[in-house]
Amino acid sequence: MAWPKAGTVSVVNGSAIVTGTGTSFFGSAQAGWGFVGPDGRVYEVLAVSSGTLLTITPVYQGATAAGQIYALFPTMSLAHDVVASVQALTGTFQAVADGPGQGKFSTDVVKLGDEDTGLGWPSSNEVALKAGGDWQLRLKEGVASGAAVQAHWLDAAIGKLLTAGAFGWGHDAANGSANSAAGTELSAITVTGLYRYASTHTDAPSTAGVVMHLNRIPSSAAGGMVQIAFGNNGEMWIRVQDGAGPVSFEAWRRMDPDRGSGPNGEYVRFPDGTQICTHTVAPSTTTADSTWDFPAAFTTATGLVVVGGGRTNSDATFVSARPPTTLNVAFNHWNTSGARVAGAVSLIAIGRFE
């Protein structure tokens, strides 16, 4: 580039001030450049104050003069200043280059304009999501926690992430912890869920098993509850609490048919209270009534029906039965001639067990 030398300058012996006329010092020269004075000496430019004023060092050595020619020229100080600036800039941003520049962060990563929301590392080997200044989801060693996760296994807040064992899965109904579902009775459960129970529970329906507890109004025992129990022996039971008066359940009712047998035959009991007993037997006598003791007692003789029929085709026979009691019935086996016979008969009794 051409050396700036437009216009003229005025200098004063012993002064560091150079005053220009028609010059454009500002923008065409800078500190560190060389100034060739009217006396032919070379001076260093200390500062450029304006288009017509600059400061030199050492002070002007020649005679005082006005309207003199001059010249300005660049030196290697500019390159030095650039290098120094680059070094300073590099030093300032070295941490950025070594950290975020390589995908490494020492602080939380937040959203511009919403600095309380972002990604962070609350502790060693832990990563978390923050929103509104709270850790919403924290992940460490395969375990999730945070405001968006259940506080405990019975936390029923809507929208929470469920934890292992949530709402009874894998828990005993008599857990006894601070957030336990129950104490010693299944009726103490108030949170909808699926719980294990043992035969030691004072109100267990049968052998150990699993009970499903349902609140008809969420999180409110007063709104009525339903419990369905699945026993390890294959039995199914149900009971309800209607929410009226004290919180108490009705008696357990079987949902699956209850079957049994013995020397007096077989029986089956249905959830609606119906009981059917069957037996194949030969009369104990041919001179008087025989008696069939039911394999399971009925609760009432009202509506109890007993019928039977012969077991052979050699002769037309029929069975007659007297009005039964809840425990047994008297019967006879007849042929068409009106005589009692000893052939085996099939008997069936239908009534109620509750």
Judge whether 159 lies within some domain.
no
As a whole number of angstroms, the longest Cα–Cα distance in the chain is 169
95 pLDDT tier (thresholds 50, 70, 90) = confident
Least confident stretch, 65-69, 246-250, 269-273:
246-250
Residues 278, 332, single domain; the answer is yes
Averaged pLDDT for residues 298-304: 95
Is the pLDDT at 181 greater than 90, yes or no?
no
Between 150 and 167, the more confident residue is 150
The residue among 223, 254, 285 that closes a domain is 254
Q: Using the structure block, give the residue that is written with the tokens 């968006």.
A: 148
pLDDT per residue as tens digits for the range 274-295: 999 999 999 999 999 999 999 9
Mean pLDDT of the chain: 85
Residue 247's pLDDT is 59
Residues 49, 120, single domain; the answer is no
Residues 274, 347, single domain; the answer is yes
Residues 245, 281, single domain; the answer is no
Is the pLDDT at 178 greater than 50, yes or no?
no
The residue among 50, 75, 100 that closes a domain is 75
Residues 266, 182, single domain; the answer is no
Judge whether 280 lies within some domain.
yes
Number of domains in the chain: 4
Residues 250, 323, single domain; the answer is no
Residues 217, 249, single domain; the answer is yes
Residues 224, 244, single domain; the answer is yes
The residue among 51, 75, 99 that closes a domain is 75
Residues 231, 316, single domain; the answer is no
Q: Domain of residue 124: give its range.
A: 109-145
Contacts of range 276-279, beta carbons closer than 8 Å, 24 or more positions apart: 276/348, 276/349, 276/350, 277/348, 277/349, 278/346, 278/347, 278/348, 278/349, 279/346, 279/347
